[in-house]
Amino acid sequence: MSRAKRYSLRKEPAALKCIFSPEVQAKLGQMARDAGRQLTEVIEDAVVGLYDELAYTREMLDRRYDEMESGKAQGIDGEEAYRRLMTKTQARRQRRPA
């Protein structure tokens, strides 16, 4: 079979088969039942959502990198970033009702 024939475009894409562990299958099945939806719809929505999140993250990282390169934003030392994070974490823990 020629390469052109093997890789020709189809009107509809071929189905993609995924193999999940029994635990993941059970969770997906339960999600589909709870939502009253088909399992394939739940999986498709999850994949699309993941793709959208990754695309958003990539765009944000590219934007932040460009801001740092142009001098609009300044980076901070790793230890300083950690110190700030721990300060915010402690403040949030103290605000939580017991």
Kindly state whether residue 27 falls inside one of the protein's structural domains: yes
d(CA 31, CA 42): 7
Residues 6+ apart with CB under 8 A from 38: 32
Average the pLDDT over 59-66 and give the result. Answer: 95
pLDDT at residue 52 is higher than 70: yes
Q: What is the mean pLDDT of the chain?
A: 87
pLDDT band at 15 (very low <50, low <70, confident <90, very high): confident
Q: What is the chain's percent helix, strand, coil content, to nearest 5?
A: 70, 0, 30
Kindly state whether residue 11 falls inside one of the protein's structural domains: no
Kindly state whether residue 8 falls inside one of the protein's structural domains: no
Report pLDDT for 97: 76
Kindly state whether residue 91 falls inside one of the protein's structural domains: yes
| Domain boundaries, position 54 | 19-95
Kindly state whether residue 3 falls inside one of the protein's structural domains: no
Kindly state whether residue 1 falls inside one of the protein's structural domains: no
Kindly state whether residue 60 falls inside one of the protein's structural domains: yes
Report pLDDT for 9: 55
Kindly state whether residue 4 falls inside one of the protein's structural domains: no
pLDDT digits (tens, 9 = 90+) for 86-98: 999 999 999 877 6
How many independent structural domains does the chain possess?
1
Report pLDDT for 2: 44
- What percent of the chain shows pLDDT beyond 70? 86
